[in-house]
Structure 1
Amino acid sequence: MLLSALLIKRKSFLGRCFHLGKSILNPISEDVVFRAICFNLKQRRWSFLEKNLPSLTNAIASRVLCEFQNSPQLALEFYNWVGDKKSVLHSLESSCSVIHVLVNSRRYDDALSLMGNLMTVNGLSPLEVLEALNNSYGICESSPAVFDALVRACTQIGATVGAYEVIMKLQIEGCCVTIHAWNNFLSHLIKVNEIHRFWMVYKKMVSYGYMENVNTFNLVVHALCKDCKLQEAMSVFYRILKSGIWPNAVTFNMMVDGACKMGDMDLALMLVRKMEIMSAGSIKPNSVTYNSLIDGFCKIGRIAVAEELRNEMMKIDIEPNVRTYATMIEGYSRAGFLEEALRLCDEMVERGLLPNSVVYNSIMHWLYKEGDVDGASLVFTDMSDKQIPLDKFTCSILTRGFLQKWLYNQSS
């Protein structure tokens, strides 16, 4: 009888420990709590977990997160649930653990968001986040992709210096980021218009022995085009062809856009006409290609050629988009053909495309230029009715238009 009673009590005790249904006065070992949480988490028994939050520590939370490598959604739910119930447990350790899990499962957006919050909300420096990721790297069986993700997170929040510090720190420690992280950082430098720094970083990357890929070459071409060094960009372009790395549509479009921006429309057209031949038939012009050409010809006043190109793209089943129409409308308006510009506005609506602020701004600007204040007011009314957001150019155009109308009324 005594033995039976002891067995019953022991079974009851283990059951309570395993399910964490009730708080236990005696200390519970970390392993028991860990196993119990994992078991109940798999069943999503949040009520059982909530009753035993006092037993949950930072170390246990991190272990649980790493345990659910193959269930990233559940790991993220647990992380968020813990934060809602007991925010103090959202330590750097647990945050890094869930980041490793998310990166390993290729849920990069969620991982980048958490990294960004650690730096912007929690005020941690990129190097502090890097150190924490390094500390939990082995426990969570992570991959170098987590360091690439940290560089991307830095560039997303505008931490240019931080991103570079992370790359250099890893380089010194012999745990290098991949070419993808370098490309991301180089792309960021172009976006923030730090072209001089771009070339310094690019040369350093090459000196470390990194093998450039097509994305790297595209960034080099882009940087040269921004510096109006079209001939050098062409040299790089031919170097790509000779290196055995096939250029992609982005490469060609950057070259075409660079030529158009510099007014070399002959080169731009040549690139488009020979695109298929130079890519061994793998690449054809797309809407981005034609939009660059149309924009280039509109800017030099050759609106008829731009119209021919628009017709050409439709013949080969490339649908004009809002940018195509916005460019054409601006081109016609600039050339003094406002009726044609308005006709295109109607056409794009018939095709199911909603004019954006660029389209409306262009029409209003040129109507005011011609002195048609009432016409511009009607266009603005239509813009308001369609709830198109106003931008700074809209406000500037309206201010000049109202001033023009006021001066006209004063003089009459």
Structure 2
Amino acid sequence: MLFFRAICFNLKQRRWSFLEKNLPSLTNAIASRVLCEFQNSPQLALEFYNWVGDKKSVLHSLESSCSVIHVLVNSRRYDDALSLMGNLMTVNGLSPLEVLEALNNSYGICESSPAVFDALVRACTQIGATVGAYEVIMKLQIEGCCVTIHAWNNFLSHLIKVNEIHRFWMVYKKMVSYGYMENVNTFNLVVHALCKDCKLQEAMSVFYRILKSGIWPNAVTFNMMVDGACKMGDMDLALMLVRKMEIMSAGSIKPNSVTYNSLIDGFCKIGRIAVAEELRNEMMKIDIEPNVRTYATMIEGYSRAGFLEEALRLCDEMVERGLLPNSVVYNSIMHWLYKEGDVDGASLVFTDMSDKQIPLDKFTCSILTRGFCRNEAKELMMMMVLWGVLPDNITYSTLLTNIDKSCSAEEVIELHYYMVLKGVVPDKITYEDIVSPLLQEESATN
């Protein structure tokens, strides 16, 4: 007890030299007790935990890790707590249920709260442990120590992100059967899932159910409905929702840049650029500044419609407004310039992109693959690797399919081996039609 008190006293004073002298006597149990003692000083507790790990990593037991996690969660230091939980599962190799058991064992000693279990579910979804997150929820449900609606919402959101919509509905029904009261975030997730399934009418039914239930929809609810309507081409419904947004929310919600970007994208997709331009002007009149996404959408719309001069004018305008075009903007302009046969113009755009150090992505690589001189295939692939963008099999297959006949069989084979070494292979059709015959020919020659 005296040793424990001495450690706590000197830690408060940050006398690390004293702690280092007594490090040999510091046990896992004492380290965990010290961490729990500093509930009101989470930063100091975390410093002590990290210091012990640096000096004597063997003391970083599961017990001490859980103790500091409880302290961090109680202090709402969720990011630090989630990071530690994630490390326990990804670095230390513990299963979510093992972490849950350890948190349960130290729960009372650290005077913790149920928020720690919500945090564990979130940590599981962050590292992609879908099954583990569900196991934690079910285990707690069986033991009568349930997670809150926030953990269920987090898990449901994760299922949408990984596109497991069928499992989403199974979990949602189970949650409702347990008697959980849905909140606006739950309803938003349901609307989102229905929109992903192209069930717009059902999403509208849920939307009206939200209004009748006394739970006010928020901006996210309206924006998801607008976006869902736009993606399904129902622009009349999308416009109706936007025009009645303030009335339906009792004046609490107004359209924002996300709302207008969805509308502009929807009208651009169906070729009604003039309406999209009117909406861009409208948003500026009500003091909603167009952002990079707004311009990227409009530029793609004008380019697709063949109005490249207008697209380039918008590029200049966004720069004048202090907005830096991103790879989406440059990709769009380059793609349509190549489509029009303006290779020089596309090259100038690419040069400008490089000068501004805009990061390249795989779409950029695919566009360059189709647009560059065919006999520069190998050099292009090597440039991509140097840029840090490894071409995928689609880019590779596109390049092989479009390669100029002036490129020798040896160069094509060399390119093939180079990409295989990088872990990239062409699709089945490209391999059978182009690569395999050349490889057979080479084998017969040798």
Distance in 2, Cα, partners of 1:168 & 1:177: 9
Distance in 2, Cα, partners of 1:130 & 1:153: 12
SS for the counterpart of 2:287 is: coil
Partner of 1:307: 277
Distance in 2, Cα, partners of 1:378 & 1:411: 43
Partner of 2:428: none
CA deviations 1:54-79 (Å, max 9, x no partner) are: 01000000000000000000000000
Structure 2 CA distance for partners of 1:377 and 1:169, relative to 1, 3 Å: same
SS for the counterpart of 1:141 is: coil
Distance in 1, Cα, partners of 2:233 & 2:143: 47
Distance in 2, Cα, partners of 1:116 & 1:354: 35
SS for the counterpart of 2:111 is: coil
Distance in 1, Cα, partners of 2:233 & 2:111: 53
The alpha carbon displacement at 1:282 in A equals 0.3
**Residue range with higher mean Cα deviation, 343-352 or 293-302:** 343-352
Q: TM-score, normalised by structure 1?
A: 0.90
RMSD (Å), alpha carbons: 3.2
Partner of 2:79: 109
CA deviations 1:157-216 (Å, max 9, x no partner) are: 000000000000000000000000000000000000000000000000000000000000
Q: For this pair of structures, how many residues does the alignment match?
A: 375
Identity of aligned residues (%): 98
Structure 2 CA distance for partners of 1:69 and 1:369, relative to 1, 3 Å: same
CA deviations 1:73-127 (Å, max 9, x no partner) are: 0000000000001001000000000000000000000000000000000000000
Runs of 4 or more consecutive aligned structure 1 residues displaced over 2 Å after TM superposition: 409-412
Distance in 2, Cα, partners of 1:244 & 1:187: 23
Q: Which runs of 5+ in 2 are unaligned?
A: 373-442
Distance in 2, Cα, partners of 1:54 & 1:292: 62
SS for the counterpart of 1:301 is: coil
Partner of 1:390: 360
Partner of 1:410: 444
SS for the counterpart of 1:142 is: coil
CA deviations 1:380-412 (Å, max 9, x no partner) are: 11111111111000000000001xxxxxx9999
Partner of 1:185: 155
Partner of 1:126: 96
SS for the counterpart of 1:112 is: helix
CA deviations 1:211-236 (Å, max 9, x no partner) are: 00000000000000000000000000
CA deviations 1:269-306 (Å, max 9, x no partner) are: 00000000000000000000000000000000000000
Distance in 1, Cα, partners of 2:254 & 2:67: 44
Structure 2 CA distance for partners of 1:410 and 1:372, relative to 1, 3 Å: farther
Distance in 1, Cα, partners of 2:322 & 2:256: 20
The alpha carbon displacement at 1:51 in A equals 1.2
Of 286, 296, 299 in structure 2, the residue corresponding to residue 329 of structure 1 is: 299
The alpha carbon displacement at 1:47 in A equals 1.0
CA deviations 1:321-380 (Å, max 9, x no partner) are: 110000000000000011111111111111111111100000000000000001101111
Distance in 1, Cα, partners of 2:355 & 2:189: 41
Distance in 2, Cα, partners of 1:276 & 1:193: 32
SS for the counterpart of 2:335 is: helix
Structure 2 CA distance for partners of 1:361 and 1:249, relative to 1, 3 Å: same
Partner of 1:205: 175
SS for the counterpart of 1:246 is: coil
Matches within 5 A, 1:48-87: 48-87=18-57
Distance in 2, Cα, partners of 1:80 & 1:340: 57
Distance in 1, Cα, partners of 2:152 & 2:43: 29
Distance in 1, Cα, partners of 2:274 & 2:313: 15
Distance in 1, Cα, partners of 2:100 & 2:143: 12
SS for the counterpart of 2:289 is: coil
The alpha carbon displacement at 1:52 in A equals 1.1
**Residue range with higher mean Cα deviation, 128-137 or 349-358:** 349-358
Distance in 1, Cα, partners of 2:246 & 2:140: 41
The alpha carbon displacement at 1:43 in A equals 0.5
CA deviations 1:4-42 (Å, max 9, x no partner) are: xxxxxxxxxxxxxxxxxxxxxxxxxxxx21111100000
Q: TM-score, normalised by structure 2?
A: 0.83
Distance in 2, Cα, partners of 1:119 & 1:342: 49
SS for the counterpart of 2:207 is: helix
Distance in 2, Cα, partners of 1:61 & 1:321: 51
Distance in 1, Cα, partners of 2:295 & 2:29: 58
Partner of 2:232: 262
Bigger Rg, structure 1 or 2: 1
Distance in 2, Cα, partners of 1:411 & 1:109: 62
**Residue range with higher mean Cα deviation, 272-281 or 342-351:** 342-351
Distance in 2, Cα, partners of 1:86 & 1:296: 59
SS for the counterpart of 2:19 is: helix
Distance in 1, Cα, partners of 2:25 & 2:290: 61
Partner of 2:439: none
Distance in 1, Cα, partners of 2:258 & 2:332: 21
Distance in 2, Cα, partners of 1:163 & 1:324: 37
CA deviations 1:228-264 (Å, max 9, x no partner) are: 0000000000000000000000000000000000000
Distance in 2, Cα, partners of 1:242 & 1:327: 35
Structure 2 CA distance for partners of 1:354 and 1:55, relative to 1, 3 Å: same
Structure 2 CA distance for partners of 1:371 and 1:64, relative to 1, 3 Å: same
Distance in 2, Cα, partners of 1:280 & 1:191: 31
Distance in 2, Cα, partners of 1:34 & 1:352: 58
